Amino acid sequence: MVRKQIYLPRCQDQALKHMARERGVTEAEIIRQALEREAERTASIPHGGVAAWDEIMQFLQERKEALIGKGRPVVWNRQELYEERESRWIKSRDEE
Query: Between the CA of residue 88 and those of 26, 75, 80, what are the distances in Å?
Result: 54, 20, 12
Q: Return mean pLDDT, the chain.
A: 83
Whether residues 64 and 29 fall in one domain: no
Instruction: Tell me what the mean pLDDT of segment 30-59 comes to.
Output: 81
Mind listing the pLDDT tens digit for each residue in 51-84? 878 888 888 888 777 776 666 666 777 887 788 8
Q: What predicted TM-score, i.e. pTM, was given to this entire model?
A: 0.46
pLDDT tier at 32, thresholds 50, 70, 90: very high
As for how many domains the chain has, the answer is 2
Whether residues 20 and 54 fall in one domain: no
In angstroms, the first-to-last Cα distance of the chain is: 49
Last residue of a domain, one of 25, 44, 63: 44
Q: Which domain holds residue 32?
A: 1-44
